[in-house]
Amino acid sequence: HAVCVVRPPGHHSERGACMGFGVFNNVAVAAHAALARGLERVLIVDWDIHHGNGTQEVFQEDPRVLYASLHSLYTYPFFTPNEPGQPERSTLSSGAFVGSGSGRGYTCNIGWSGEV
């Protein structure tokens, strides 16, 4: 068992894109390293004013990783335009999005809409 409190998480950087001042998604790199070394499951709790879109994107299809994000619904990166052909970003950060494929049920988004 291990607990890591990490700052900055790099949680906006996706597999193929640097975002939100992050080049590397430190949390995703650490989780992948732990899984590669034999850890069976990883829990990532991301508590930030911003949704961790990058971490979610990396693990949304992986049932070994439970990703929970607590964030404001109306902050970066969801006020930026969507890429053509991509799902509505606000949908990806809502409680309705729970992962995809074999990772369905392993993503938990808890967004708040009031003032912080």
> Which sequence positions are flagged as catalytic?
12
Sign of CA dihedral 16, 22, 23, 29: negative
Q: Please answer whether residues 75 and 115 qualify as being in contact, where contact means their C-beta atoms are separated by less than 8 angstroms.
A: no
Q: How far is CA 79 from the centre of its chain?
A: 17
Q: Which residues pair with 102 in a beta bridge?
A: none
Q: State how far the alpha carbon of 18 is from the alpha carbons of 10, 54, 70, 99, 113, in Å.
A: 9, 9, 21, 21, 26
